[in-house]
Structure 1
Amino acid sequence: MCRHIACLGPAEPLGEVLVRPRHALVRQSWEPRRQRHGTVNADGFGVGWYADDDPVPARYRRAGPIWADLSFADLARVVRSGAVLAAVRDATEAGADGEAAAAPFAAGPWLFSHNGALTGWPVSAAPLAATLPPAELLGMAARCDSALIWALVLHRLREGDPLGQALADSVTDLAAAAPGSRLNLLLTDGTAIAATAWGDTLWYLTEPGTTASTTTGSTGADAGRTVVASEPYDDGPGWREVPDRTLLVATRTDVQLTPLKEPTA
């Protein structure tokens, strides 16, 4: 269910990450190579990116398949960014939310995506939903498990939790409430990426930088590039698989992996 990707690095056209590579996200929408659940990701897609001197990302989302959207093809060709999060969706259940249910979800400086499914939805999630302030619960973007997971993560972010802690604590609570759930989460604020491997594949790629400028205000001749994705977009030797039950936190120059513990009964 779903494929997603986030990239931090020198500014480049969105298509260089999402379209051009042989097994890029666009191709993963109809021919993923390592997807364990579902076969085609045609139930919507979305791209979020950051521009120079603006911490609030832009988004482009649609309810249909990414390969059928000619406007996206033009957008990917000309829009440049050094911080991107994108996803193609395979819906767990049919719903009426359409574009609103397509990742990335967004609030303030953050972009978020969920690859997976919450076991026993929606009954299993009711106790966790009850912990949210009513206004945040009513403000959910869609009526799906991914939107609730985002609401839980967002609540922690607004309380001041760092990206990695917000994901790790949310996954622990969700796994305890709904054992057997698949909780691969992906989050960025344009300067760092946090992700969890919990029930599906996750990979990362790091490359040394050759460009001084980025889209988020940081500069330096050694600025690097980091990609975190459900699966590699090419067959290059630099890709590394993230072990299951792991939290990843990355910047343009560093990747840290931390094991996640199964919740106790």
Structure 2
Amino acid sequence: MCRHLAYLGGELPLGALLFDPPYGLVRQSWAPRRQRYGTVNADGFGIGWYAPGDERPARYRRAGPIWADENLADLARVVRTRALLAAVRSATAGCAPGEAAAAPFAAGRLLFSHNGALPGWPERYGPLAATLPPADLMALEARSDSALLWALLLARLRTGAELGEALADTVREAAKYGDARLNLLVTDGTSIAATAWGDTLFHRSGPGVVVASEPYDDGPGWAEVPDRTLLLAGPAGVALHPIDRAGPAPAAQESARPGRTEEESDRPAPGSGRPTREDDSP
């Protein structure tokens, strides 16, 4: 399992979300309070954030535990952002190690993280992987369950699906192959989409919005997302929609609707396209 967090709101230093809270993501790497599977998240970490005037996020990822990075505290003290997605990793058995396997994954404006596991990986999920075009499989950033889910999500976006619909469909499809844990988290820098499926997910609003595997403090305002739920968050608030195993995901409300993955310079007319395969790698 893993722990992850996304933030949208006023400009903050990275450390205000990662280091400063009493139970922030750094502490969750070695002492999570709500983690149901695994005990330590020491198999890598990553931070993705959006700089002013640049829609494409920057990333900082490492293969080791977040507490062992001697440079991160200084970076997190001075780098500021209005939107962030960060994760600490506990690798699924059979998945590749290394920096390339650490979330967040990126494509165009999107950042992606997976908190969960595909039990029986990789043997049980061969048929799921076979639903992707060979070129997509060859382009996987890492040999891992999370990278496969990311590729499946991108493939659905390229068909014209909205992000909330694509997230829910990806979860439904992966759940057919076993008792998967599928908490997915995505941001485009202006909105957040997430699923709760098999593990904890919380959100808090005002000022800004935070979506996280678990609360990073004991302050008021945290609300737990029910299992098998799609969350859509934006400047106007948070919307929750049950994920029916058989039915379609509800359409995203305009006020909490995540944007496209294309870069601004290459974006087609509204509603006319989704990311090309070249956008699938950072």
Q: Distance in 2 between matches of 1:150 and 1:95?
A: 14
Q: Distance in 2 between matches of 1:52 and 1:243?
A: 34
- Per-residue CA deviations over 1:218-244 (Å, capped at 9, x if unaligned) read xxxxxxx00000000000110000000
Which TM-score applies when normalising by structure 2? 0.85
Cα offset, 1:202, TM superposition: 0.1
Cα offset, 1:94, TM superposition: 5.7
Contact 1:62/1:102, CA 8 A, preserved across alignment: yes
2:13 is matched by which residue type in structure 1? P
Q: Distance in 2 between matches of 1:154 and 1:167?
A: 10
Q: Residue 164 of structure 1: SS of its match in structure 2?
A: helix
Query: Could you say which residue in structure 1 is the equivalent of 2:88?
Result: 88
Contact 2:94/2:121, CA 8 A, preserved across alignment: no
- Per-residue CA deviations over 1:102-138 (Å, capped at 9, x if unaligned) read 0001111110000110122112222221221221110
Residue 262 (1) aligns with residue 242 (2): no
Q: Residue 8 of structure 1: SS of its match in structure 2?
A: strand
Query: Could you say which residue in structure 1 is the equivalent of 2:273?
Result: none
Q: How does 1:71-82 map to 2 (within 5 A)?
A: 71-82=71-82
Q: Distance in 2 between matches of 1:245 and 1:94?
A: 26
Q: Residue 116 of structure 2: SS of its match in structure 1?
A: strand
CA 1:237 to 1:184, structure 2 compared with 1: closer, same or farther past 3 Å? Answer: same
Q: Distance in 1 between matches of 2:69 and 2:246?
A: 41
Residue 253 (1) aligns with residue 252 (2): no
Q: Distance in 1 between matches of 2:49 and 2:202?
A: 20
- Per-residue CA deviations over 1:153-212 (Å, capped at 9, x if unaligned) read 111223332221111010010001x2211000001111110000000000000004xxxx
Residue 243 (1) aligns with residue 226 (2): yes
- Per-residue CA deviations over 1:21-43 (Å, capped at 9, x if unaligned) read 01000000000000000001011
Cα offset, 1:95, TM superposition: 4.9
Moved more, 91-100 or 7-16: 91-100
2:200 is matched by which residue type in structure 1? T
Contact 1:118/1:182, CA 8 A, preserved across alignment: yes
Moved more, 115-124 or 4-13: 115-124
Q: Distance in 2 between matches of 1:26 and 1:161?
A: 35
Q: Which runs of 4+ in 1 moved over 3 A?
A: 94-97
- Structure 1 stretches lacking a partner, 5+ long: 209-224
Contact 2:95/2:145, CA 8 A, preserved across alignment: no
Contact 2:93/2:121, CA 8 A, preserved across alignment: no
2:155 is matched by which residue type in structure 1? H
Contact 1:163/1:188, CA 8 A, preserved across alignment: no
**Backbone CA RMSD of aligned residues:** 1.3
Aligned-residue sequence identity (percent) comes to 67
Which TM-score applies when normalising by structure 1? 0.90
2:242 is matched by which residue type in structure 1? P
Query: Could you say which residue in structure 1 is the equivalent of 2:155?
Result: 155
Query: Could you say which residue in structure 2 is the equivalent of 1:213?
Result: none
Query: Could you say which residue in structure 2 is the equivalent of 1:103?
Result: 103
Q: Residue 53 of structure 1: SS of its match in structure 2?
A: coil
Q: How does 1:179-258 map to 2 (within 5 A)?
A: 179-208=178-207, 225-258=208-241
Cα offset, 1:56, TM superposition: 0.8
Query: Could you say which residue in structure 2 is the equivalent of 1:172?
Result: 172
Query: Could you say which residue in structure 2 is the equivalent of 1:121?
Result: 121
Contact 2:94/2:122, CA 8 A, preserved across alignment: no
Moved more, 129-138 or 167-176: 129-138
Q: Residue 54 of structure 1: SS of its match in structure 2?
A: coil
Contact 1:50/1:57, CA 8 A, preserved across alignment: yes
